[in-house]
Structure formats: C-alpha cells, structure tokens
Amino acid sequence: MIFILSALAFGLSRENTTAVEAWHTNSVVMSKDADGNLSQSLLTADDLADYAVNQDQAQVALTPGIMKGAGLREGVMFVGINADDLVSRSITLTKGHLSQNSDELVVSDKLRQKGFKLGQTVELGINNQNFKIVGFAKDAEYNIAPVAYGDIKEWSNVKGVSNRFVASGVVSKKTLVAKSDQVKAYSKAQFLNKMPGYSAQNSTFLFMIVFLIVISVIVVTIFLYILTIQKVENFAVLRAQGIPSRYLALNTLSQTVIIMVSAVALSVILALLVSLVIPTQVPMYFDIPLILLTGLGLVVMGTLGSLIPMGIIARIDPVTVIGG
C-alpha cells in the first residue's frame, strides 16, 4: 500500500511539475499580483525589459483553456513560448516537429492518448482560435493539465487580455531577482508550492504515507511480539543451557531485518504489478530513489519496532522452565 500510494502520489505530483522540470527551471519571475500563480501573471514589455531571452532563460505565457476538435474536449494549459530559447529547446518530441508558424501547437503526449492526432485542427482559447497540432511532446504537464506549446504572440488572444501584456513570466536556469516593484522572483521550490493545490495535495499524500508507515511498523512490531511470545519457553530453555540473551536478541534482530527486506522487496514487486493493471489515466510513477528511501525507512522502522520483543528476550527468566 505504501509503495502503491507513493507511486500514485508521485505520479500525481509529477503531473503538476513535469513541464517545469523539463524546462530546467531554477527560478521564476512573474507579476507581484499573481501571488506565485504563473497562469494568473500578466507582464508588459516594460516589465520584461530587464530579463534577456537566451538558452538559459525564457519568457513563458500561460493560460488555461479548453482544446476542442473532432468531438474531443480537453482542458489544457496553453504555454506561449519563443523559438530557440530555454523552454523551446527543452521540449522532447515523441512525434511531429516543433512549431514553425504561429498557428501551430506542440501538445502533450497525454492528448495523443486521449485521441488528438497529428495534423488535426483544434480550437483553443476564449476566442476559439484555430490551431494545428504539429507535434507531441513528453513530460509536458503543468498543474495536472496537459500543455499545449504555442507561439507566445498568440497568448494574449488565447487568454483574451490586452495585447499590451506579452508574457506571464520569465523562467531561468539561474537565480533571478525582481528588478522592479511590479514583479516578484520565486525559487523553484517556492514556485511549485504556490502552484494551486500542489502543496495541499502533496501534504495530504505525505501524511497518508507516513500514517501507513506508522501502521506498518505497529503491525510488524505486534507480529514480532507475538512471534517472540510464542518462543519465550524455548528461549528460556536455551537461556537455561547458557545461550546468552544477546545471541537470542541479535537473532531476532537479524530475522526482523530479513523479514523487512523480503517484505519490502515483495511489496515493490506487487506495487509494480498493480501499476500494470491500473488504468493509464491514473498517473503512477515509481521513483527509484524514493522507493529505496521508503524501503530503507521501513526496514529501519521495523527494526526499531523489534526493540520491544528484544526487551522481552532480555528479561526472559530461565527459572520459569524449571519445574514444568
């Protein structure tokens, strides 16, 4: 359950951030009034004047919208970008090519799975503007929504705002600072935590996982306690013969480690099998470092849980088996 829930949590969490991760962003500048929500940010050319656009830095223009075409309707995040900057270079195509005209879109692979096709004309934005899908990209989700990369010049039309606003923000590999009162700079962590629902969702999952780990450790401790209680008379005989309680306790400890490592390995295998039968719409992601860390945490916590049975072993009185 811990590994399945972790994979679900991580999968959902990634649906918020894959695009941002793909951009290799370390900091973001946006309008102060947006309060960290990039899709609500509106910047003018004057606001952007101090921020160069190059291979390490890019302007982005975000707005949520509904993409419609051939009977399909899907909520997307339109991300307006410039050619040959940090973001456009970070797009990894799975099919098609990058946009060459302002009426072309490169959209998330998720939309291909939902039925959108290469070359298909779709309507997007408040004015139902027509675009043609020319490419599909992987790792292109922002705040749960699949991303549709388009020309940044089309953004104000799609969003339905005055064309004096030219972008939502600037993303950079470097650490940006606010250079006017109108803008504010965020680190990557601050930016992600300000993403609507992201922090609350992660906290909820984190608490569920932590409680599951606590429950698992309690179950393991009870299991070891019962196992030890059942062996107390045998241990007492061994103690009477002179077998040190340290030897018995260390054996119980090593058994615990073996049980925990085996259980964790089996759990990971079962979780992987479950992921094969879970519908593709449900995002699951197995992050190897996270699995190793969680597994190690479980082994360590389970081993700590064995301290209670070890305490029982230390207190076993061999006299109890004399006189039957």
Partner 1 sequence: MEKLVLKNITKQFGSDTNLVTALDDINFTAEDGQLTLILGPSGSGKSTLLTILGGLQRPSQGQVAINGQNIDQLSTKEADQFRLDHIGFVLQSYNLVPYLNVKDQFTLVDQVKPKGNVTAQKFESYLNTLGITKLINKFPTELSGGQTQRVAIARALYTNPDFILADEPTAALDSSRVEEVGQLFKNIAVQEDKAVVVVTHDLRLRAYADRIYQLVDGKISLEEI
Binding site for partner 1 (CB under 8 A): 233-234, 236-245, 247, 318-319, 321-324
The DSSP output letter for 54 is B
- Distance separating alpha carbons of residues 309 and 238, to the nearest angstrom: 16
- What DSSP string runs through 178-243? --STTEEEEEHHHHHHHSTTHHHHHHHHHHHHHHHHHHHHHHHHHHHHHHHHHHHHHHHHHHHTT-
Instruction: Give the sign of the dihedral formed by CA 158, CA 163, CA 165, CA 167.
Output: positive
Q: 137 or 236, CB closer to partner 1?
A: 236
| Closest CB 95 distance from partner 1, rounded Å | 59
Q: 174 or 315, CB closer to partner 1?
A: 315
Q: Which of 182, 162, 107, 177 is nearest to 140 (CA)?
A: 107
| Closest CB 245 distance from partner 1, rounded Å | 8
| Closest CB 236 distance from partner 1, rounded Å | 7
Q: 35 or 317, CB closer to partner 1?
A: 317
Cα of first residue to Cα of last residue in the chain, in angstroms, is: 45
| Closest CB 302 distance from partner 1, rounded Å | 21
Q: 44 or 251, CB closer to partner 1?
A: 251
Q: 115 or 244, CB closer to partner 1?
A: 244
Look-up: residue for tokens 């811990």? 2
Question: For the chain, what percentages of helix, strand and coil (3-state, to nearest 5) are there?
Answer: 50, 25, 25
| Closest CB 265 distance from partner 1, rounded Å | 23
By CB neighbour count within 10 A (0-12 exposed, 13-18 middle, 19+ buried), where does 137 fall?
Answer: buried
| Closest CB 251 distance from partner 1, rounded Å | 9
| Closest CB 244 distance from partner 1, rounded Å | 5
**What are residue 258's DSSP bridge partners?**
none
For residue 166, give the 3-state DSSP assignment: strand
- Distance separating alpha carbons of residues 201 and 37, to the nearest angstrom: 16
Q: 118 or 237, CB closer to partner 1?
A: 237
Q: 242 or 279, CB closer to partner 1?
A: 242
